[in-house]
Amino acid sequence: MKKSRTPWILVLAVILAGTSTPAHAQTYTSFDALPNGTFPNEIDSSGRIAGTAAQANQPSSGFVRNTDGSIVLINVAGAVSTDWVGFSGTNEIAGRYTGSAYVVHGFQGPIAGPYSIFDVPGATGTYPTGSNSTGQIVGFWTDSRNALHGFLRNADGSMTKFDAPGVATTQPEAINTSGQIAGLATDSSGILHGFIRAAAGTYTMYSLPSGTAYASALMNDVGQVAGYYADRNFNSHGYLRDTNGTFTTFSLPGNTGVGDINQGGFIVGIFGGKYNARKEGYLRRPDGTTVALEFPGASFITSTTRAIGINQTGIIVGNYEINTTTNTVWHGFIVTGVH
């Protein structure tokens, strides 16, 4: 069900319309998968975390953090960098990596390996962006003209290419346990739209506000889609598209980014100023009220706290920088007591 960072997805700051409410007793736990940067992608229902991490003078690695705090590093032979890792089935993962020829490939397999490498036939690059608990993997692939198209890889390895109807590019971003896919598509006039692809292959297209140049589309198992949309100056807002088609924009002070939506409709993300201004995480409840999240000590004007994922029990995962002028290392965190 999870997402990755792809060309349209610029994780900006977050905004939210709704009354801010006091936080409960927030309890933060910091962790590092590798010493030079930890970048979580998602947290599953048991509390395991998948993501990528960096070590000086080494290719970036994937990782899984178990509930006991132990770390399993994910390395594909020949990888120059590992760009995204998510859960795919109970004890398996999916991901993407850049190979030695600087071509992007997909991979899937048990957490400890070995991994199966896969490419969309005829693609110049294969970019998995999401996976679900049944082992399906969704993403996009590029053709010889560098145009984007969608693909769905099933647990048995079979693959389906697809394009949203009447568009020039198709970029899937998330898949839920029912096989619904959420993503973005650009029409022949260069206008960006959102889409939902049903498991049967039918499409529901939805419009984003006028002037949208960048956006994201994340989906929970209910079929709600959450994301952000931004203009060309990267002024961004959050949105929720409900299952009945209602499109709700929400904003917190500054810019708004969205990291995840769980099955209960709780949304997490980041808000604050552009560039070097301080940014904080947030939780948005289904009733529209919000809670700010700030890792203890990340209170400098150049600090950032990003909420990236939330599971069904309300555990939130993210990462933070204490002070970007003196310490540019990103650390992972878990926070409880917010839901």
Per residue of the chain (339 residues), give pLDDT as tens.
Answer: 555 544 433 333 333 333 444 456 899 999 999 999 999 999 999 999 999 999 999 999 999 999 999 999 999 999 999 999 999 988 999 999 999 999 999 999 999 999 999 999 999 999 999 999 999 999 999 999 999 999 999 999 999 999 999 999 999 999 999 999 999 999 999 999 999 999 999 999 999 999 999 999 999 999 999 999 999 999 999 999 999 999 999 999 999 999 999 999 999 999 999 877 889 999 999 999 999 999 999 999 999 999 999 999 999 999 999 987 787 899 999 999 997
The residues with which 250 forms a beta bridge, in sequence order, are: 238
**Cα 268 to Cα 108, 209, 228, 283, 284, distances in angstroms:** 27, 21, 11, 5, 6
Residue range 169-194, pLDDT digits in tens: 999 999 999 999 999 999 999 999 99
Q: Is residue 299 part of a domain?
A: yes
pLDDT, position 3: 54
Residue 205: count other Cβ atoms within 10 Å of its Cβ. Answer: 14
Which structure tokens are listed for 147?
A: 């145009």
Q: Is residue 9 part of a domain?
A: no
Task: Please count the residues of the chain.
Answer: 339
Q: Is residue 82 part of a domain?
A: yes
Residue 47 sits in a domain whose CATH number is 2.130.10.10
**Cα 69 to Cα 14, 47, 233, distances in angstroms:** 29, 10, 40
Q: Are 238 and 226 in contact (CB under 8 A)?
A: yes
Helices (H) and strands (E) in the chain, counts: 0, 29
State the Cα–Cα distance between residues 10 and 14, nearest whole angstrom: 12
State the Cα–Cα distance between residues 298 and 1, nearest whole angstrom: 30
Helix H or strand E segment including 237: strand 236-241
Tell me the three state secondary structure of residue 42. strand
Q: Is residue 15 part of a domain?
A: no
Q: Which amino acid is at 20?
A: S
Phi and psi, residue 45, nearest 5°? -65, -25
Domain that holds residue 267: 27-336
Q: Where do runs of H (alpha helix) occur along the chain?
A: none
State the Cα–Cα distance between residues 18 and 32, nearest whole angstrom: 34
Q: Is residue 7 part of a domain?
A: no
Q: Is residue 22 part of a domain?
A: no
Q: Are 112 and 92 in contact (CB under 8 A)?
A: no
Q: Is residue 8 part of a domain?
A: no
- Rg of the chain on CA atoms, in Å: 18
Q: Is residue 323 part of a domain?
A: yes
275 sits in the region (left: phi over 0; alpha: psi -120 to 50; else beta) called: left
| Total count of domains within the chain | 1
Whose CA is closest to 86, among 123, 147, 42, 48?
42
Q: Tell whether pTM > 0.85.
A: yes
State the Cα–Cα distance between residues 292 and 154, nearest whole angstrom: 38
Q: Are 294 and 319 in contact (CB under 8 A)?
A: no
